[in-house]
Structure 1
């Protein structure tokens, strides 16, 4: 027995429809894979693009200086070694004024930061000059509010006070220091 003949026009229409469906399904699959693998980047900022302080210290920019890894090492909460790295990209030597309040009195001083955008000027480690702050009255684990000023531009930041108990800060706390302050 012979079956009914299939109309050739209908077969082509069905094949064309099937091809269109396959193309739409493939496109939808490609879009869902693209969104599934990159969707977080579309709605969330990339964590690697966020600026942060990778160490225990804090940072601040003031008057053409980039001050990095600011921290105070103190074992007694009274006298501290102020660690900092300064990058001076201003093209000129800069006088950095540092101040804080101790017993209702402003304690301030300054350090000279040479112009050198490639190599930071650092203070406080065993091989560098030290800035010793007397009268900080902040126990280790606390924060001391410190003001920085360069040519009229002033910023204030809370600087952590840490002990020399951590291996990386061993030997950095001031010992047997006689401090004369205001």
Structure 2
């Protein structure tokens, strides 16, 4: 093979590599940046009461921690009110009594944290490791969603299990 043919082959290889790199850069520039997308950063779910496009009234990273179906569970996450008015969020699950949390205008109330509010679901209608149908309501709007139920297997949730009061022991009879 002549020197001229080798040089031409090398030039074609460089041109093809440059064209491929340019194409890859153009495609990468057109793709959405995943770091700008809203997502649930942990094990809970996000719920926008006014629809997915509105972030004014929403639950953030909501989940329940409990020990078994039929037992109580603690609600963890946060409720955010970015409107001009105070509002009350109400969470309902199939077998539990509705729970309400007041959230001032422009504020976020954290649930299940050391500085937040403790909110207990009185009865879990599904076992840990599953989801329960739930509704979150605020400002006259309601959104249905699947609420995950976790147990204390993961260390980060072990301290969030509902406290169980020991039942009083019977008095000895004489």
TM-score (norm 2): 0.73
State yes or no: 1:163 paired with 2:155.
no
- 2:15 and 2:154 map into 1 onto residues whose CA distance is 57
- When residues 88 and 177 of structure 1 are mapped into structure 2, their CA distance, relative to the original with a 3 A threshold, is farther
State yes or no: 1:126 paired with 2:139.
no
Q: Who is 1:49 aligned against? A: 36
Q: Who is 1:115 aligned against? A: 105
State yes or no: 1:75 paired with 2:67.
yes
* Cα drift, residue 142 of structure 1: 0.6
Q: Which runs of 5+ in 1 are unaligned?
A: 1-25
- 1:164 and 1:39 map into 2 onto residues whose CA distance is 44
| Deviation per residue, 1:56-89 (Å, 9 max, x gap) | 0000111431210100010123210011212211
| Deviation per residue, 1:19-67 (Å, 9 max, x gap) | xxxxxxx99875543113332444x443333322110000011143121
Q: 1:66 aligns with which of 48, 58, 66?
A: 58
SS in 2 for 1:175: coil
Contact residue 75 and residue 121 of structure 2 kept, 8 A: yes
Larger Rg: 1
- 2:160 and 2:17 map into 1 onto residues whose CA distance is 60
Which is strand-richer, 1 or 2?
1
SS in 2 for 1:101: coil
> What do you get for the CA RMSD once the two structures are aligned?
2.5
Contact residue 144 and residue 160 of structure 1 kept, 8 A: yes
| Deviation per residue, 1:134-169 (Å, 9 max, x gap) | 121211101011101112211011011011221111
Q: Which runs of 5+ in 2 are unaligned?
A: 1-13, 51-55, 167-174
| Deviation per residue, 1:74-116 (Å, 9 max, x gap) | 01232100112122110111011111111xxx73131101122
